[in-house]
Structure formats: C-alpha cells, structure tokens
Structure 1
Amino acid sequence: MNSESLAFATPRESLGILLGLVRAEIVRAMEAELAAKGLNLSFTQFLILKRLARLGPMSASELARSVELDGGAMTRQLDHLEGKGYLRRRRHEQDRRALRIELTAAGTTLWQELTDCNDRVLRAAQRSLDEAEQARLHDYLERVLHALRDKH
C-alpha cells in the first residue's frame, strides 16, 4: 500500500479515504477494460447497463438513484446509450404517463461481453487475497454498509 496516499488521513478519515482510493482504481481499471474492447463507454454507463441487466426494467429516477446521478445527468447518459442502441424507453404497462428503461437485445449482448471485463477487474483487485480473506473482506464491507444504512 502506498503510505503516502494515506499520509494526510487521520485515523478516522483513513477508512473513507482508502475506500475512495479503491473505488477510483476499480473505475480506472474498468474504463481501461472498456477502452481495450474499443467501446466508447464510461464507468457510469457500464453501471447503468449492469443495473438494468441485473435488476430489469425500471424508471429513470430509480436507475438514477441506483447509480447516484441527478436527473439531468441520467437523461444525458440514457440519451447516449439509447443512441448506441443499448437501451430503450418504453411506456409503463400500468401507468402510461411513466417510462421504463430496459436493455435492448444489443444491450443484453453487450452486457454479456462486459461481464467478463467486470469479473477480470474484480479478480485482479483481490488477487493478493486467498479465498478466506476474500470472504472476510466481503463480510466486513457488507457489515460496514449495513451499519451505515442502519438509522437506529
């Protein structure tokens, strides 16, 4: 670990800084994978495709919350991905005023290709950990997340 990157952190800040640095490196590695495949996609666009592939069609506001974007930024991302033919906006079956965002066949095919990139990046991120350490890391991070989400 580069101790200089944490040199300015107080003990209470260092976890947040470390998590931010890990996220930044995962984003960098994933964007490098996307570029190597010749895809003009950002990490945020990758996340949008991933959410739709894993969770199915949803509203633009649900999707925006899930990838932490505001409405305007989400609209721009959706326009870009729709222009490439990876997703479409459809009227909601029960509420004709609402739109649902869903992957197209091309988007589903692309996601299947991107799954390998995602797996490669996450394996590389954990390559210095054995199986038991990977399980503990996952458990620790899950517990931290639950603690942060617990309002009581």
Structure 2
Amino acid sequence: MVPYDGVVDDSVDRHITRWRGKAPFDERVEAIVTRMQFLVKHVSQAKDTALAAVGLQDFEFETLHRLASRGEGGRATPSELAAELKLSPAGMTGRLDTLESAGLVRRIRSEQDRRRVDVELTEEGHATWRKAMNVQGGVEDDMVGVLSEAEQDVLSALLKRMLSHVESQGRPETWVSVSAPNE
C-alpha cells in the first residue's frame, strides 16, 4: 500500500496482504469498507467507555439522548419515545421506571391535556447525558481531528454520497440476490 501522511502500514493493510489471492474482492473496496468498520467499532467502544464512566447502560443513554434532542425541557410522551426507540409500550414503561427511579427523568401531566403524561429530563438526567456526550465527543474529535477541516468536509461529502446511495436502494435484504450456480 502507498504510505499516506507518514503512516506506512495499518491493520487493514495487513488484512489485505493476508487475504490477497485467497478471496475474491477488490482491494480498494475492501480497504475502504474494513477501515469504516474498524472506525465504527472504535466509536462504539468509546461510547461504551463513556457510558460506563457515568454509570449508564446503552438503553438508558438512548432514552436520555432522545429527550435531550428536544431542546429545553426535553419532553416527550412515552408513546413518542417508544416509537422512536422501536419499543413496545410495556418495554418503554419498564425503561422509564428505571430512569425515573435513578432520578434521570420524571413523568408529569401534560400542560395541554391533563389526561396525557409527558416524560422530561431532570437536571441530573441532562447532566449525566452531557457527561457521556463529552467523553464520547472527545474520542470522536480526536479521531477526526487528524484531518484538516477541508479534508473533513471532503470525507463527510463522500460518506454522504455513499449513504444516500445505500438508503435509496431500500432495505438491506433487497440488496443482495444470490442464486446457486447452474449445475
């Protein structure tokens, strides 16, 4: 492989070398996809570390994250959260019970309709979510920070083009059609 910015060899270069001639793949495509997979794994591990540092589990963080995305007050109905998180109402109730017991969310009567219950982040919930985001954000900033702003813009545009293409293709199970060779 051609050295780039002083990096002579990485784990993907060794992977390509190990598999060269043993598996049918385009080396350039394999290198791109494998590097993306390794970077996603790195971000996932950073998220796990960030959550452990603040005492959250992934499902708790995802619920707090959805509420925090709603801005000031971070409110949503349990059914809105369940739909976003693709959970059953019972699953959402259990999750909210856990978060409420920990003091991270509270259930309150809706201001518009007293029959409706809203869920909102508490100050502690928002602070805990923010701490996890800061830890994870630091790892992401460090990873992407090796690129100049112009390079980051180019990479973002290229990844956007790839993702848009994939998303326009439909569901993953419709992408591949494998048929047995004729015998």
Normalised by the size of structure 2, how large is the TM-score?
Answer: 0.60
Q: 2:75 aligns with which of 57, 82, 91?
A: 57
Which residue pairs with 2:104 in the alignment? 86
Tell me, which stretches of 5 or more residues in structure 2 are unaligned?
A: 1-9, 171-183
SS in 2 for 1:138: helix
Greater helix fraction, Structure 1 or Structure 2: 1
> CA deviation digits over 1:59-107, x for unaligned, max 9?
22322343x3312443332222111101012222223332211101211
**CA shift in 2, pair 1:44/1:21, >3 Å:** farther
> CA deviation digits over 1:101-151, x for unaligned, max 9?
110121122233233213213213324432222223333444555552798
Which residue pairs with 2:119 in the alignment? 101
Normalised by the size of structure 1, how large is the TM-score?
Answer: 0.69
Which structure has the larger Rg? 2
SS in 2 for 1:101: strand
Q: Distance in 2 between matches of 1:70 and 1:76?
A: 10
Is 1:44 the counterpart of 2:59 in the alignment? yes
Within 5 A, what are the aligned runs for 1:1-152?
Answer: 2-3=11-12, 4=15, 22-35=39-52, 37=53, 39-55=54-70, 56-66=74-84, 68-71=85-88, 72-144=90-162, 148=167
Contact 1:9–1:17 (CA under 8 A) maintained in structure 2: no
Contact 1:27–1:43 (CA under 8 A) maintained in structure 2: no
C-alpha RMSD of matched pairs (Å): 3.4
Tell me, which stretches of 5 or more residues in structure 1 are unaligned?
A: none
Count of paired positions: 146
**CA shift in 2, pair 1:24/1:80, >3 Å:** farther
Which residue pairs with 2:175 in the alignment? none
